[in-house]
Amino acid sequence: MQYTDGVPVQNEYVTTLCYSDFIKVKPSSTITINNYTHSYCLYDVEKNFIEGKVVAGNGMTIQIPSNCEYIIVNTQYDERDTTQVEYGTVATSYEP
């Protein structure tokens, strides 16, 4: 996802990253992502882009704004099956 406008990106430079589907989140909540996160995009209830941010790190904690209902996470391709988004400020081990 392009963090500046929320539009999907596929090109020869984006080979190690992938993005999630829309993940439903509670407005005004705090979430933590357990694995490496390159960036994320936030969307409203109608899936209109609100904002995006490059964070590039492990165990990212994000404060969800009051007008946000969905998030899309850009993560490393080889961690796509074990990346977990959860409420709170602590990243726990992946649970299928």
Q: What is the pLDDT of residue 93?
A: 83
Q: What is the pLDDT of residue 35?
A: 84
Q: What is the pLDDT of residue 13?
A: 57
Find the helix or strand (DSSP H, E) in which 41 lies. Answer: strand 37-43
For residue 77, the 8-state DSSP code is G
> What are the per-10-residue average pLDDT scores of the chain (96 residues)?
72 72 96 88 96 86 96 87 91 84
pTM equals: 0.85
Task: State how far the Cα of 55 lies from the Cα of 65, in Å rounded to an integer.
Answer: 17
Task: State how far the Cα of 33 lies from the Cα of 80, in Å rounded to an integer.
Answer: 12
Task: State how far the Cα of 52 lies from the Cα of 5, in Å rounded to an integer.
Answer: 7
Measure CA 69 to chain center: 12
Phi/psi at 40 (5° precision): -150, 160
Q: What is the pLDDT of residue 38?
A: 83
- Give me the residue label for tokens 């977990």: 84
Q: What is the pLDDT of residue 12?
A: 58
